Structure 1
Amino acid sequence: MRRRARPDPELTPLRWPLRLTRAGLVAERALRAFWPLGSLALALLAALMLGLHEILPVELVWGGAVAGVLGLFICLWRGLRRFRWPSRQDAIARLDHTMAGRPIRAMLDEQAIGAGDPASRALWQAHQARMAEAAARARPPRPDLRIARRDPFGLRHMAVLLFAVALLFGSLWRVGTVTELAPGQADALAAGPTWEGWLEPPRHTGLPTIYLADVPGATLTAPEGSRVILRFYGEVGALTLSETVSGRTGEVPPASSPEQDFTIAQSGELRIDGPGGQGWQVDMVPDAPPRISAAGPPETGTLGRMSLPFTAADDYGVTGGEVRIELDLAAVDRRHGLAVDPEPRDPVTVPLPLPVAGDRREFAETLIEDFSEHPWAHLPVVFAMSVEDAAGQTGAAVPLRAALPARRFFDPLAAAVAEQRRDLLWARSNAGRVAQVLRAVSHRPEDVFRSETAYLRLRVILRRLETFARYGLSTDGQAEIAQALWDLAILLEEGDLGDALERLRRAQDRLSEAMRNGASDQEIAELMQELRQATDNYLRQLSREARERGQQPGEQGDQLSGNEMQMSQDDLQRMMDRIQDLMEQGRMAEAQQALQELQQMMENMRVTQNGQGQAGQSQGQQAMEGLADTLRQQQGLSDQAFRDLQEQFDPGAQAGQNQDNEGRSGGLGRGQSHDGQGGRGGTDDPNRQGEGQGNGDEGNLADRQQALRDTLRDQRENLPGAGTEQGDAARDALDRAGRAMDGAEEALRGDDYADAIDRQSEAMEALREGMRSLGEALAEMQQDQPGQGPEDGDMQGEMRDPLGRRAGARGSIGSDENMLQGEDVYRRARELLDEIRRRSGDGDRPTLELDYLKRLLERF
């Protein structure tokens, strides 16, 4: 076969693949030949954009410029030598090489043997036709741009990285300043020296940088630690520096040095001598250390939580602080179990809370901590508070000496157990004495114990303590017995309803006696706080007994009633506030009379229901309560789906529950734990099993969602108000809720928890809308019914929520009244904010929860 002298016209269909292949060859050869030139050019451009020629000595800059230009020429000459423009034949060979059988080469060949034979010629033509068909499917190959073998040190990557840094932190305008390095420009500078200067305050001050040329001959006010940067241009020695603000000693740069950099340490004079020089009188503002002081003595809050108010200030802002609590051993009454030397304990260090947002230069905060279980509870301690600013300076408050606030025990037996626990923690050598005292206290159990369970627990503790004391009490044994004694003291203190009523009476009697004896304001305030706590405990016991009797206080709004009168919990709170106001005004007689009235009402108090029970409710009320129960169950399913979604990203979340992780929610986020056991939020009320757990363990989330959907379908069929506008709107909303539940069920069966949570949210929103529409429909139906009595007509308006507030009008969810129940809301808000801060600092929590807590802190 002979090769044709010129390309065959049949290659015309391959002109674009050949052109693209040729372009790829150009890219390959250009990259291999000129990559050193491009890398060097990018590196030089990055250096100019970053302004290195402005900060380096001019000699080094000129040397680098010469080396750079020479390097560019060498790289260009080397690239031109190595670069070869690809020919058409090169492109044909590259493209032909990518196909099997080399069809393009076959198309360009001619028949050399048997050209005169028709059969042989026909076979050759058929062969070329097949090759032409194969060549028509040709695709241009990708160019090989890999040059790692030619650049083993990755110099091209370094150049690209430098250029990226220059784009981020440099400027193209700096490239133009290279012209100032020309000989003509240097002569101009030599003819007229000039200077530049900046004064940079410390970053933590938040003050702007001052360009000294803009404040000629003025008095400068500079914070301590400000940095002064000066640059002299022109002939060296034409401009000199004279200053008395840095206080520098030892090796100091020459006054004529082109670059001056120092820090202001004192007030003084700053002057530039020479042509165009200026001078300033610098007034340095010292950075004062932060200040902190206690705003009052530590107080005991609800259930023994300590509240320590303080104020802090700094000229530029406080960055942190802590309080160090140490035992004031000299002030301890060394009697009984405290007579022996205490075991050494490290001081307690607690970080001080800082404002989440706003100015930290001056603020007031309150430290809230619970030291009820600490061995130093109620003992004299020393509070040493300190704060720190951004400059590293610290300020300390005057040590505050006071008893460490903790929970008080009103029950004598509980107080005795708590005291012996303190003695045991004071020193392990007290173990024998503590065992003797506890055995003596429990000598006649029928006279002192109200609960057989408490007595049995004490006997178990006694046996273990005596065993430990016989063979030597270890640190772990000490901690175990101390925890058991604390739990026993809580059990003895809480007790039952009779115990709560007894504590309430005792608190009332102590307050009444203090008013009669003219006690101090602080003591009266403490006793008033004890009365509030005892009242709250008594109300909790009342509510618990009501649930045990089959009642459900709080579902329709509880009221406290006695002797033909009814009052809400809010009214009771206002009565105690009035008593406290009367005492603060010195009107003790009126306060005593009000306290007696409160005591009489509390004696006859009982929990009643505003409604007549399920049997006496109308069809509309039953439908409304059924929808509310469905909404609660849907919320519980959504909470559990969210917990499962957390476990997908954090398998450690399945480890169970601790004091802050309440496990998987079966209702309202507080219910069933991970292992299927009832959590803290588990319901003990048989009437609320469906609310907290749904179907329990009988099925998975998808089955429980399907069951809830069926329940909603039945509720819609029995919904009153058919034919009315609001009734039809309620049915439409329930239809949307049902469709959303169906979507949630499908997503749960596909393990798509994120989509399931979205569908459940839509279902809950539709349920709320349906309940609003149903409430409006019921209100219209009541207005249209003639002869309806005021008692039935106002029943819904008189319903109260568990806080004693009237529910919203026209069947709305929520309350029309102000939710801020007095000044105590600010204390509660502070407690919630402190709890959010504490949880956000726990690194063991799931990432999703930490992100949510962070968003809360950023918002509030």
Structure 2
Amino acid sequence: MQDIHVTDGRLRSLGARLSRTRSAIWAVMTLERLWPLLLPFVLLLGLFLSLSWFGVFRMVPEVGRFILLGVLGLAALAALIPFRHLRFPEREEIDRRIEGANKLQHAPISTQTDRLASGVSNPFADALWREHQKRMAEKLASLHADLPSTNIPERDPFALRAAVALLFVVAAAYATGPYGGSVRDAFHAPVPSSEAITARIDAWVTPPPYTGRAPVFLTADVNRDKQEFTVPENSTVSVRISSGSGEENLTLTDANGEQQVVEPEEGSTAGAAQFSQVLVGESSVTLADGSRELSTWHFKIIQDAPPVIRFEKDPRRAANGALELSYFVQDDHGVTKAEAQFGLVDENPNAKPLYDAPEMPLSLPRRSSKDNVAKVAKDLTEHPWAGREVELKLTATDAAGQTGESETKTFTLPQRSFTNSLARAIVEQRQVLALDANQKRRTMAMMDAVLLWADETITNPAHFLLLSSIRSRLGFARNDEALRGVVDDLWEIALIIEDGDLTAAERRLRDAQEALKQALENGATDEELKRLMDELRTAMRDFLREFAERAMQNPQDLAQAPEGQMMNQMDLERMLDQLEDLARSGAREQAQDLLSQLQNMMNNLQAGRPQQGQQGQQNSQMRQQMDQLGEIMRRQQELLNETFRMDREQRGQQGQQGQQGQRGQQGQQGQQGQGQQPGQGQGMTAEEFAEALRQLQEGQGQLRDKLQELTEALRGMGMEPGEGFGEAGEAMGEAEGALGEGEGQRATGEQGRALEALRRGAQDMMQQMQQAMQQGQDGQDGPGQRAGRADRDPLGRPRATTGPDFGDSVDVPDEIDIQRAREILDAIRRRLGDALSPELEREYLERLLEMR
């Protein structure tokens, strides 16, 4: 049974191979019979195309063209007559061709399908016949097809077919030239040759002047054989005819096929005419003499796109208080004008403004500029819109009158800051009056209120006289011009009140603070920041010296300050040092916040606002608990810094010892005292490091006990400690355990979590205290106002009665964050100093430094 299955499989494979060979032989035999019959027709077709491309049908007369077409047509029909004898190969023919191609004897293919002639079944004869079929089948194991043989050389012994093919190739190449013909010439009557044109034709296209392009002469020798031209939009095509017949006409055909007859210009005569037409879209211009076409030009138009203008950076305040804009301007042929358009966000439609929107023309980038970016700055702090929220849109206009607009930016227009409360009030009322003249009575009422209580609001008699005078002028103002004069004078009076009593030291301090603020915002270099910090230090010392001299002359001011909150120059010096460290380490945002706090402190000090807070009425026990909490937070910060320093030093020693062990420079002992990092001095031994960790562990445990005592004391006072204290205690315990196991990195993370939880708990505790204070107030001030004034000293710092500064006013990075930032910056600078660094990497690192 196994042999039978194998035999059946071989027979199926043999049948598939035989079927494929038969298909291939059928195609070969069909091609051999078809190609000799088809070749005459193909040669006639190639001859027809060759004659057409050579332009024969265009050059012969009409009768000759018809005769030639008739001869070729009859020849083509005669070439198709032999197709009636075409006969496709039969299966027997295919099998004989296979046997002949493969040189097979005894007809093995037909043997596979033949049957015994005897009708009586004879087992021996059947077995013998199957054995014969099997042996014949073995000869069919490697069949292959045959190549076609058309016998064309015997039918064309002179190889005329090659001449037709060569003629076809040459004609195809000739047809691509200017004198080549077309197949259409065989079926269209040839255009009769016209008489020589004696008229002179001059045609040219003049682009618009703002494009800066030269005219294109259509009838010049280089353009005589050219019919398609690409010109800018609004170009003018001009055609001038001399010595013409007088019947010349010019027709413009647009892209939609609509025709427009161009009238000749004034002054044209029968012998000399001139035509002009502006091209606004893709079109064709045809010059004809009566019904005879002389020339046709096709024009593709380069559209004049409107200018593009957009903000390169957001509008910002410059160092001198001016509005600074950086923008991108581009146009295909150049921009002629650009300006900034302002609009108020919350403008009252019923208002009667005295001033229009600010005007701010924009400078245009140079034509040689590669980035098409320009900058402009203008001081708008004096405009009545200063300090209001405005919408700004940039517009650009090109020479064609097209206008491009940028996106709209909404921001607050820069204004001058006034520290004097009276000056601020005057500027505010000036703005109200300038934005709406109908508010005249309201402004007069506000000024009357100030003048009525002059003893409490105006300290300088000269200021009182100035306000009284301007109040009288405002009352007599009857038109917009007079009101604008009052608005201008109000600005001058505010400046006198703000700056008139400032000493030189105060002015220098304010200017130094403002210059440093702008430098931080604009990303100044480290050298520039260092110079500005030195100026701020000098101005601060001069101001404090002057303030101390005035305090000596007025001891009663010092007596009003709460105990323990006298100004300390060392505190300010530490604050300046921290500000400089933040700026140089890349933490520019935190440096700006710290500078803002410093400015508020100085403003409060200049305003002379020492106040008696209500904190003196609080329980002394509460004050002690707050001080204890501040001490816990300070000690936790010290433990965090010390743990981080020791862990980093120890890991650095281990890494250095591992490198030295690989180099064979040390023995197998690898003591801790031998691992020394550059610039860090001698390291600690393993015993010293273990002892240091044990001390830190003890300190952490003691700190946790103190926090537990503080929590119980707060509960005894009727206050419920927040979740922050509980989380802090848990984190302290985890840090204590990590220190005991020598895991400095995990201990650092837990200590940082404990410090953050302490800050949250302190904030919750302060909120509870404020709520208790508000419940006990006598109602003279609002809760928010009274609490806001009572918890700050003249320097703007929390009073001693409210506990220490918990770090919630300014997010200042701790020592670890600053150290990491410095290490990153140093690594970037070292990489930049490597001469082998790729250019792409150097550009990326430089961008990183600029992002600070």
TM-score, normalisation: structure 2: 0.35
Larger radius of gyration: 2
